[in-house]
């Protein structure tokens, strides 16, 4: 039987309250954030941290919920919020049907993030209105096809869900397309922002610089992959040449998370170009 270690910390950055949930099982730990600003709750955390996040939500006056995407660590407490309050929950249009059913995902993710109960969601428009601001709803596919980022026009804050996470990405989920992630990161730079709120890295005061650093890293990585691909190397050989170690999450997830997914996304693009 595995033991789950859980905690939550509440942080304040400007007018944004940040709930920083931490969960670990058998030495594998992750952080996930939920953000509250101007009556808007952005992402709801995981159901494995239900007690912790719900204690945070009870202290808020939530008027609407915006989900960056439907993954269980972001939507895990949406059903509870819906049961407690009759407020709209918004998600990308393509994930409405998925949210209406209990989450279905591998055991290792259930162990870390818990079960995600079904809830009823509504589709976003192009913008969202809160008491003091208009928000741009930005399609930023890559991590998932339904991934969205939110830009507060009044404050210039950018909420990026799982688009950033860290600068030097080493492994990605099998459904992620790193080519699309790179394009989405570049898309954000058309907006006037400095601060970023990331659902796993938290508040980044130098968020624009961090995103630019990630773009540079991925462009350099793309160049390395292209060179090896042009020399006739296979995806496996390119993966071993660039990522010289295998990360524990790869084995634990049955290769659902893997460095190879990064390589195959780039080489697929190269094949389409030729």
Residues 126-153: what's their mean pLDDT?
Answer: 98
Q: Which residue stretches of the chain are H helix?
A: 50-57, 72-75, 78-84, 96-99, 107-113, 178-188, 207-230, 235-242, 248-252, 260-273
Q: Please tell me what DSSP assigns to residue 48.
A: G
Q: What is the pLDDT of residue 86?
A: 87
Please give the Cα distance from 215 to 207 (Å, whole number): 12
Start-to-end C-alpha separation, the chain = 51
Q: Band the pLDDT of 2: cuts 50, 70, 90.
A: low
Query: What is the rounded CA–CA span in Å between residue 110 and residue 106?
Result: 6
Task: Give phi and psi for 246, each to the nearest 5.
Answer: -100, 130
Strand 64-66: give its sheet, edge to edge. Answer: 4-13, 16-25, 28-37, 40-42, 64-66, 89-91, 122-123
Question: What pTM did the predictor assign?
Answer: 0.96
Residue 16 has pLDDT above 80, yes or no: yes
More confident residue, 274 or 56: 56
Q: Write out the two tokens for 175.
A: 């459904």
CB distance 69 to 93 below 8 Å: no
Q: Which residue pairs from 145-148 have beta carbons closer than 8 angstroms and sit at least 24 positions apart in sequence? A: 145/94, 145/175, 146/69, 146/70, 146/91, 146/92, 146/94, 146/95, 147/68, 147/69, 147/92, 147/184, 148/66, 148/67, 148/68, 148/69, 148/92, 148/124
How confident is the model at residue 79, as a pLDDT?
98
Give 237: exposed, middle or buried? Use CB within 10 Å, 0-12, 13-18, 19+: middle
Q: What confidence score (pLDDT) does residue 33 get?
A: 98
In this prediction, residue 226 carries a pLDDT of 98
pLDDT-based confidence at 263, cuts 50/70/90? very high
Q: What is the DSSP letter of 167?
A: S
Domains of the chain: 4-217 (3.60.15.10)
User: Is pLDDT above 70 for 61?
Assistant: yes
Q: Residue 164 pLDDT more than 70?
A: yes
Calculate the CA 38 to chain-centre distance.
21
Q: 75 φ, ψ to 5°? A: -115, 10
Rounded-to-integer distance, Cα 256 and Cα 246, Å: 13
Spatial contact of 84 and 110, defined as CB atoms under 8 Å apart: no
Q: Residue 1 above 60 pLDDT?
A: no
pLDDT (tens digit per residue) in 62-95: 999 999 999 999 999 999 999 999 899 999 999 9
Q: In the chain, what percentage of residues exceed pLDDT 70?
A: 99
pLDDT value for 25: 77
Query: How do residues 96-131 score in pLDDT, each as one tens digit?
Result: 999 999 999 999 899 899 999 999 999 999 999 999
Whole-Å CA distances, 252 to 52, 108, 246, 249, 259? 26, 7, 11, 5, 14
Residues in the chain: 274
Percent residues over pLDDT 90 in the chain = 92
pLDDT tens-place string over residues 242-255: 999 989 889 989 99
Three-state DSSP class for residue 180: helix
pLDDT 10s digits, 182-208: 999 999 999 999 999 999 999 999 999
pLDDT at 148: 98
Q: What is the pLDDT of residue 214?
A: 98
């Amino acid at each position: 039987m595995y033991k789950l270690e859980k905690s939550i910390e509440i942080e304040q950055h400007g007018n944004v309250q940040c709930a920083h949930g931490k969960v670990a099982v058998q030495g594998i730990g992750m952080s996930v954030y939920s953000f509250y600003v101007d009556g808007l709750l952005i992402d709801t955390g995981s159901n494995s941290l239900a007690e912790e996040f719900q204690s945070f939500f009870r202290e808020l006056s939530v008027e609407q919920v915006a989900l960056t995407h439907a993954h269980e660590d972001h939507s895990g407490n949406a059903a509870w919020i819906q049961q407690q309050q009759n407020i709209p929950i918004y998600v990308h249009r393509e994930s409405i049907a998925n949210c209406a059913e209990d989450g279905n995902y591998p055991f290792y993710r259930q162990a870390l993030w818990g079960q995600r109960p079904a809830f009823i969601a509504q589709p976003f428009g192009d913008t969202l209105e809160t008491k003091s601001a208009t928000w741009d709803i930005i399609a930023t596919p890559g991590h998932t096809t339904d991934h969205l980022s939110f830009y507060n026009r009044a404050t210039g804050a950018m909420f990026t869900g799982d688009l950033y996470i860290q600068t030097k990405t080493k492994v990605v989920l099998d459904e992620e397309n790193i080519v699309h992630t790179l394009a989405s990161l570049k898309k954000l730079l058309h907006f006037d922002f400095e601060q970023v709120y990331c659902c796993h890295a938290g508040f980044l005061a130098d968020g624009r610089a961090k995103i630019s650093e990630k773009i540079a890293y991925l462009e350099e990585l793309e160049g390395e992959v292209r060179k090896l691909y042009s020399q006739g190397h296979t995806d496996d050989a390119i993966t071993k040449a660039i990522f010289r170690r295998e990360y524990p999450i790869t084995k634990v997830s049955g290769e659902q998370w893997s460095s190879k997914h990064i390589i195959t996304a780039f080489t697929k693009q190269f094949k389409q170009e030729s």
